[in-house]
Amino acid sequence: MSSAEADSVAPEVRRQWQDLAEAVREHQFRYYIKDAPIISDAEFDSMFNELLALEERHPELRVADSPTQLVGGAGFATDFAEAQHLERMLSLDDVFDRDELVAWSNRVENEVGKEPHYLCELKIDGVALSLVYRDGRLERAATRGTAASVRT
């Protein structure tokens, strides 16, 4: 962020963004790296959405290392080696009420250009994994995002 852009944001707004970004990073670290969250998913989603809304109102705050610009545990050092995925693992979107679901469905329809078909599955909280089995044996497990290999 250039100094001119930073100056266009009121100090109290910048401080609010810094506090929120720091809190979101801390909770991401506890969830993705330590596997020891201290707040509920709903509380985290609310905090994350507040940060997103703040960045929507003040785009100059949206920087490359903002928690809103990273996937899952990206940005945290790990001992895992990177892996190449066979298929792209896409992120999930959260919706919290019927209006948000309808808006999401309309966005998908507009992007696809026709009425899409949906496959819905229950989301089980935890890490997203891509598992590759050969001859009934687990050959590789990789996470979404940076595709770090999982120790087996």
Q: Which residues pair with 130 in a beta bridge?
A: 142
Eight-class DSSP state of 67: G
Residue with tokens 């050959």: 139
The half-sphere exposure of 46 on its side-chain side, counting CA atoms within 13 A, is: 5
Tokens representing residue 47 in the block: 């905090």
Active site residues: 123
CB atoms within 10 A of CB 29: 15
CB 47 within 8 A of CB 24: yes
3-class secondary structure, 18: helix
Residue position matching structure tokens 């910048």: 14
Whether the CB-CB separation of 24 and 48 falls below 8 Å is answered with yes
